[in-house]
Structure 1
Amino acid sequence: MAVRIGSKLRPAINWAAARASQVPLSPVIDDSQLEWTARLRHAWKDIAAEAESVLAMRERLPRLRDVSPDHKRIAGDGRWRCFFLQGYGQKIEANRRLAPRTASLLDTIPNLNSGFFSVLEPGAVIPMHVGVTRGLLTWHLGLHTPTDHRKCWIKVDNVTLDWQPGHSFLFDDTYPHEVHNDTDDYRVILLVQVERPMKAPLRWLPDLFLWGVKKTAFVRDARDAIERIESVTARMERA
């Protein structure tokens, strides 16, 4: 029922988000329009160091398909792993203790929805898909990237981008996008999802839609999975 209702409402919600948007509607957006991006980019080495310590236990990192049932189709090969510091508005305290500098930087981001280390294993493919709502924007900060960065890429609509350490970009994931890591190395980024800057009163519609999404079984299941993983992380931390 949630999927059916959401599918019917989404065109109107995306229209409202587009009309209210205070940033361009292009697939890729200049991230300097969000003041916090420069602050995180300046601290990328600190963030990368914490990500590296987490990666020491990367075989224990959960696959995204196990955290978010809604991602099973696009994360089906199991080569997309994640380490959530905040997911769907919920802070993951055990994980935050393992990456305190990154966690404190995420706390400075207004209207943060999710923030996590995103790990693509060698050969990973995320097939073409679209995001849920234009009311959210996605930001990537490169931390550890393959030497031949041209073989590890994301295509958003008709724009192809790749990741490099300390470099970042912002995009609208309601445009069709796909990801390939055609190398024998890992790609690690900080993935941040935030609410699109929008003007009232039309912004209230996307905000209400996002509130409703957070109440669905998809998000409840993801939060339950995150809580289970948090307990595992806590045991690892004590060990």
Structure 2
Amino acid sequence: MFDDALEHRDGTFGQGCFRCCAGEKIIIFDMTMRKELYERAELIASKFPPQTMVRFRRFIKGMDHIYSTYPGLTRSAFYDASDSSALTEWARLLESSYPLVRGELEAFLQHEERRVHFNKYRYRERSAGEADALEKNEWSQLLFLDRDTFNEEICDYFPETKKLIQCLKPALAPFGQVELLALAPGGAVLPHTDVTNRQITAHLGLIVPEKCGIKVGGKTGSWQEGKVLFFDHMFPHEVWNYSERHRFVLVINFTHPELTLEECKALVELERAAEIFFMSYQPTRWEHVQFTLRSFYLMVARVARWTIPRMFARLNNRYLKWR
């Protein structure tokens, strides 16, 4: 279904471009980009039959930023593999490959010198002399695929895993990632959300000790070795590992199966246009002033929301005492 959309991908750009830039520039860009991107999105939509772009046009009319919520997609904290034929097929491919992927992971972990490949954070290289990420109570990452490009240095250790990713690649989210995430004994990741509902995240349990869990949108779940767990990462989610062993899961971000081929092509083209515009965009002085005034207003509003009700409550209490 998504094979043709792959032609529209460009490995040079991806979501990481947004994360690597200063927060002020991102906010100014969000304020400025609506008109620019709306005009670009209208041109993109005109390339496809109008009946296939109904949701896309609703999306761009209400778009605050490139990762705004896409309308008309089913959302659930957790998904069952039987919820759609696509989820069923993805689960079948992943679970049938579990013995091979786990075998490669165990072979990899037997060599202490290879553990330096685990990165503490995304889009950040390990500094010289930095301690082994697996020896800290933190979330660490082994990246296989990033923005449609394989990490060949890692994939050399995981040839069967690379073959699996190649089979799944047509269904992967544009500019998405495939990674192996490790959570150390006693580690936990606090509640957080990701930016888009256009993806469904899959976790394949590889090494899962007891006392591990995940909470998504207030619902608690758990991993099983050799089984796939699907969830919507736009819901607040958190994970923990209260065991005495590391927990390892393979993480894949799939394109939401309810997106049509035409919508996938249009969204890929729009995301590419947004990132090209963002990387070349330089805010003017007036836009910096707007950003400063907006930040000041938000700060005052936040303080007022907290203080004014309390101030009136105190005045009311005093009035009642005087009466």
* Fold similarity call, TM over 0.5: yes
Per-residue deviation, 1:28: 1.1
Is the CA contact 2:80–2:230 (under 8 Å) kept in the aligned structure 1?
A: yes
Summarize deviations over 1:91-139 as a string: whole Å, max 9, x none.
1112111101111011111232211211111111111111011112210
Structure 1 distance, partners of 2:201, 2:68, is 15
Alignment of 1:1-80 (within 5 A): 1-3=25-27, 5=29, 9=63, 13-16=67-70, 18-19=71-72, 21=73, 24-32=74-82, 33=84, 34=86, 35-56=89-110, 57=112, 59-65=115-121, 67-68=122-123, 79-80=138-139
Structure 2 distance, partners of 1:192, 1:78, is 23
Per-residue deviation, 1:208: 4.5
Q: Specify the structure having the higher radius of gyration (Cα).
A: 2
Is the CA contact 2:141–2:179 (under 8 Å) kept in the aligned structure 1?
A: yes
Over 3 Å counting, the alpha-carbon distance change for 1:62 and 1:26 in structure 2 is same
Summarize deviations over 1:167-206 as a string: whole Å, max 9, x none.
1111110100011111111101111112222026555564
Structure 1 residue matching 2:160: 3-state secondary structure: helix
Q: Which has the higher strand share?
A: 1
Is the CA contact 2:78–2:216 (under 8 Å) kept in the aligned structure 1?
A: yes
Q: Which runs of 5+ in 1 are unaligned?
A: 70-74, 218-239
Give the number of equivalent residue pairs: 203
Of 172, 184, 192, the match for 2:244? 184
Summarize deviations over 1:71-107 as a string: whole Å, max 9, x none.
xxxx9x7621221111232211121111011110111
Structure 1 residue matching 2:118: 3-state secondary structure: coil
Q: Which runs of 5+ in 2 are unaligned?
A: 1-24, 35-62, 125-132, 280-323
Alignment of 1:1-239 (within 5 A): 1-3=25-27, 5=29, 9=63, 13-16=67-70, 18-19=71-72, 21=73, 24-32=74-82, 33=84, 34=86, 35-56=89-110, 57=112, 59-65=115-121, 67-68=122-123, 79-109=138-168, 110-112=170-172, 113-146=176-209, 148=210, 151-197=211-257, 198-199=259-260, 202-203=263-264, 206-208=267-269, 210-211=271-272
For 1:228, the equivalent position in structure 2 comes to none
Higher relative contact order (CA 8 A, sep 6+): 1
Is the CA contact 1:79–1:120 (under 8 Å) kept in the aligned structure 2?
A: yes
TM-score by length of 2: 0.56
Q: Which has the higher helix share?
A: 2
Structure 2 residue matching 1:141: 3-state secondary structure: strand
Structure 1 residue matching 2:167: 3-state secondary structure: coil
